[in-house]
Amino acid sequence: MTQHRFAISPFRQALPDGHSPGVELAESKARLGQAQEHLLTTLRSIRQGIMIFGPDGQVHLCNARAVELLQLPAHFAEDAIDLSDVAAVLTATDVSLGADGQSASMRRGDGQVISIQLNRLTGGGKVLLVEDITAERRRDENLQLAESEYRSLFENAVCGIYRDKPDGTPVRANRALVNFNGYETEAEYNAAVKSNGGNWYVDSDRPRLFQHLMATQGEVRDLVSEVYSHRTRKRLWITENAWYVRDQSGNPIYTEGTIQDATERVQGLAEVEQHANTDQLTGAASRFHFMNALNAVTRDLRGTCVLFTIDLDKFKEVNDMLGHGAGDAVLNATARRLRTLAGPAATVARLGGDEFAVLMAGVSATMNADMIAADFVNAMRQPIEIEGHNTIIGASVGVALFPAHAADSTELLNHADLALYHAKTSGKSKACIFDHVMKNRLQQRKALEAELREAIPANTLELYYQPIVGTASAKVHGFEALMRWNHPRRGFLQPGQFLDVAEEAGLMTELGNWAIRRACRQTAALPAHIAVAVNVSPSQFRSSGIVDHVKQALADSGLEAGRLTLELTETVLLSSEAIAARVMDQLIDLGVKLALDDFGTGYSSLSYLQRFAFSRVKIDRSFVAGLETKPANTAIIRAIIRLAGDLGMDVVAEGIETEAQAALLRAEGCDFLQGYLFGRPKPYLDITADLAMSSLREILPSKPGLPLETHAQRRTVHNSL
Ligand code: C2E
Ligand code: CA
Ligand code: CA
């Protein structure tokens, strides 16, 4: 800053020449010179530029700083210039010097800001003060900018911002907060807070909590509360933060804070929670909620509970047959009934599909769990109205007690399920309480399953054959092949003893396909007029390779396709009619015949007869059994036979044990008869012998007593197949 070229002309004309110098004069001159010296030094060193004009407008004095700041030509300092010259320069830089005592500022080309002030001197002249105020101006501008930035942030923030006095009187509130409370202006809002501030929070304890947090922690962080919008009184959720603004000695002078609308988030959470805790269809508790409740009880040292698991017996059928709407109606009715019986303290949950659970916590182990379970079973035996029809669904119930039956929630649930499983396998619509014997039985079942996997390779399966007799001819028309298992330790097992294990273990298709292969091979070796019927389970029918498998079995055995009948039950048709119909067509294309087994036990049997290409109907044993005593059965059988006749189907009656039954069926015109009366299922060996014998009898009708059957014969036949 000291490199300024010091261009100043001393007081021009300040000391008019021509005065006679004396001693005093010399002294005063010296004093004057000194004063001038001081003045010059001062003028040289101050940061202001100074120009002094005489009354005539001539510049009397100008320091270098003024020349520099005003960017005047250098000669200003030396040459005589007048105020108008300066004014011209200033005009060129957009600053006008109007009235005296006025000030102005100008921005120079290089960006520096210069302030200029013109004051009148008492002697008639003028003094011009020039100053570089760039730094101050910049500071001001920055301050202004910052202020306007903050103001904009404050005003335009999406969250509410406020400043209150410590007593709660509002000082400032931004637009978001004003609008949040239903107002347009800050004044309206302030007025509302003054008259009604205490009633903002829905929970009347909230202000106290807020004050407590401020007092103890000096701030409030992310406090979520429900409030009433001041004007509308609409309930909204907020998240708020607050803190104190303190003076230098630390005393709070303001409370400041932010308020965010959390309504959507809170409602979203509540919805999610509600969603997670409730089964949307039935309104019962969800599995998630149920497991939480179960865990809470079983983790409590003194917790006790009874757990019921419930499974509907015929849900799948209803769902498949009558559609999902019907299925939903059943599930809703189930949830309703369970809730009514279980009472408000119990947790009724839908665990998935048609599986329900009821948790009764805190009840003593001595409560009559078995009676409650029986109530559930009974309630589910009552018909449910679906689309105007009463349908009986039925349910099985498993029960397990905590802590008597299990150590934790997982085990408790497993044991209730085991009891449920037991209830289902010992006949539907039953309730069972867990006991430890059940567990053993399950283990045995698992063992049976493992052994069954070995049955085909170990060659311990066998087919028995039961004759089907022509009503008119009284001769054997063919046989139904029925599976038996020569279990290595348990002995000879009937299908009822192992087929559901096979079904559950996913082995049914393998076993069933084996039966088809074996029956084809064995039948191919029988006289050509003898047919064979093989049972096909629903899962086997639905398995992808069934058509190919039958084709292969026929090809391998050389059995003529027309001699093979496959017996299907209605359940085969339930899941997808379109697929079932296609598979059936493919089988029929092979030349195979199809029989509808167990006819009369299912749902809409008669409509199936018309819709699917069966060539035979087998009337279920249950109709035949009551034939002599129940006239209604006769009527039903008559109707079936007539309908089947109209549709060009054969009718076989199953389970005939008495002559009376046989006589009635003959009279009704049933085509074929099957039952113990005509022969029990027998080993292949036996039927070949029987057939051989009867054909011999035909050849040698008049010579009885011939030794037709010998052990040697039997062995030969058996080994060849
Ligand atoms: P189903 O197809 O209804 O077979 C007829 C059942 O009735 C056979 O029982 C047979 O022994 C029995 N039965 C025949 N006549 C009479 C009678 O006059 N009185 C009585 N009380 N019962 C009679 P079995 O052999 O125990 O077979 C039971 C079921 O096992 C069969 O019922 C069939 O559904 C299934 N099954 C048997 N073998 C096979 C097979 O190879 N594959 C498939 N998928 N299922 C089979
Ligand atoms: Ca059958
Ligand atoms: Ca049957």
> How many CB atoms are closer than 10 A to CB 450?
10
Which residue is closest in CA terms to ligand 1's atom 20?
A: 655
- Which one has a higher pLDDT value, 105 or 169? 169
Answer whether residue 42 shows pLDDT above 90.
Answer: no
- Residue 610 Cα to ligand 3 midpoint, Å, equals 20
List the single range of 220-224, 269-273, 525-529, 699-703 with lowest mean pLDDT. Answer: 699-703
- Residue 551 Cα to ligand 3 midpoint, Å, equals 24
Share of the chain above pLDDT 70, in %: 89
- Residue 565 Cα to ligand 2 midpoint, Å, equals 10
558-567: average pLDDT: 98
**Strand spans (E) along 600-712:** 616-619, 650-653, 672-673, 682-683
716-721: average pLDDT: 42
Answer whether residue 23 shows pLDDT above 80.
Answer: no
Nearest to 429 by CA among 330, 311, 519, 327: 311
- Which one has a higher pLDDT value, 523 or 80? 523
Size (the chain), residues: 721
| Cβ–Cβ under 8 Å, residues 121 and 100 | no
Measured distance CA(227)–CA(668) in Å, rounded:
82
Q: Is the CB of 620 under 6 A from ligand 1?
A: no
Measured distance CA(359)–CA(349) in Å, rounded:
8
Q: What is the pLDDT of residues 501-513, one digit of tens each?
A: 899 889 999 999 9
- Which one has a higher pLDDT value, 359 or 5? 359
443 confidence band (pLDDT: 50, 70, 90): confident
Most confident of 60-64, 121-125, 564-568: 564-568
Answer whether residue 709 shows pLDDT above 60.
Answer: no
Mean pLDDT of the chain: 86
- Which one has a higher pLDDT value, 272 or 225? 225
List the single range of 28-42, 84-98, 138-152, 677-691 with lowest mean pLDDT. Answer: 84-98
User: Quick one: tokens of 634?
Assistant: 């006769």
The residue whose CB lies within 8 Å of the most ligand 1 atoms, and thus the one to mutate among 462, 465, 482, 659, is: 482
State residue 416's pLDDT score.
Answer: 96
Answer whether residue 15 shows pLDDT above 50.
Answer: no
State residue 83's pLDDT score.
Answer: 62
Q: List, as one string, the DSSP characters of 687-707.
A: HHHHHHHHHHHHHSTT-TT--
Measured distance CA(721)–CA(462) in Å, rounded:
12
Most confident of 112-116, 305-309, 437-441, 542-546: 305-309
Q: Is the CB of 532 under 6 A from ligand 1?
A: no
557-563: average pLDDT: 98
Q: Is the CB of 624 under 6 A from ligand 1?
A: no
DSSP state of 153: H
Measured distance CA(379)–CA(383) in Å, rounded:
9
- Which one has a higher pLDDT value, 478 or 278? 478
Q: Is the CB of 535 under 6 A from ligand 1?
A: yes
- Residue 446 Cα to ligand 2 midpoint, Å, equals 27
Which residue is closest in CA terms to ligand 1's atom 46?
A: 535
Nearest to 463 by CA among 388, 505, 500, 513: 513
Answer whether residue 713 shows pLDDT above 60.
Answer: no
- Which one has a higher pLDDT value, 342 or 272? 342
62 confidence band (pLDDT: 50, 70, 90): confident
Residue type, 178: V
CA angle 704, 709, 711 (to 5 degrees): 155
| Cβ–Cβ under 8 Å, residues 534 and 481 | yes
Under 8 Å CB-to-CB from 716, ≥6 apart: which residues?
none
Q: What is the pLDDT of residues 665-703, one digit of tens each?
A: 999 999 999 999 999 999 999 999 999 888 888 777 554
Measured distance CA(618)–CA(584) in Å, rounded:
17
Q: Is the CB of 495 under 6 A from ligand 1?
A: yes
Q: What is the pLDDT of residues 574-603, one digit of tens each?
A: 767 788 899 999 999 999 999 999 988 766
Share of the chain above pLDDT 90, in %: 48
Q: Which residues surround ligand 2, an ion (CB under 5 A)?
A: 535, 567, 597
Q: Is the CB of 499 under 6 A from ligand 1?
A: yes
List the single range of 72-86, 165-179, 424-438 with lowest mean pLDDT. Answer: 72-86
Q: What is the pLDDT of residues 360-393, one digit of tens each?
A: 998 765 568 989 999 999 999 999 888 777 888 9
Which residue is closest in CA terms to ligand 1's atom 27?
A: 495
DSSP state of 561: G
633-644: average pLDDT: 89
State residue 97's pLDDT score.
Answer: 55
- Residue 584 Cα to ligand 2 midpoint, Å, equals 17
The ligand minimizing its distance to the Cα of 517 is 1
- Residue 601 Cα to ligand 3 midpoint, Å, equals 10
- Residue 384 Cα to ligand 3 midpoint, Å, equals 29
State residue 720's pLDDT score.
Answer: 41
Phi, psi of 665 (to 5 degrees): -70, -40
Radius of gyration for the chain, computed over Cα atoms and rounded to the nearest angstrom? 54
Stretch (H or E) spanning 465: strand 461-470
254 confidence band (pLDDT: 50, 70, 90): very high
Q: Residue 493: helix, strand or coil by DSSP?
A: strand
Under 8 Å CB-to-CB from 170, ≥6 apart: which residues?
162, 163, 164, 189, 190, 193, 194
> How many CB atoms are closer than 10 A to CB 541?
22
Most confident of 11-25, 125-139, 236-250: 236-250
- Residue 441 Cα to ligand 1 midpoint, Å, equals 25
Q: Which residues surround ligand 3, an ion (CB under 5 A)?
A: 597-598
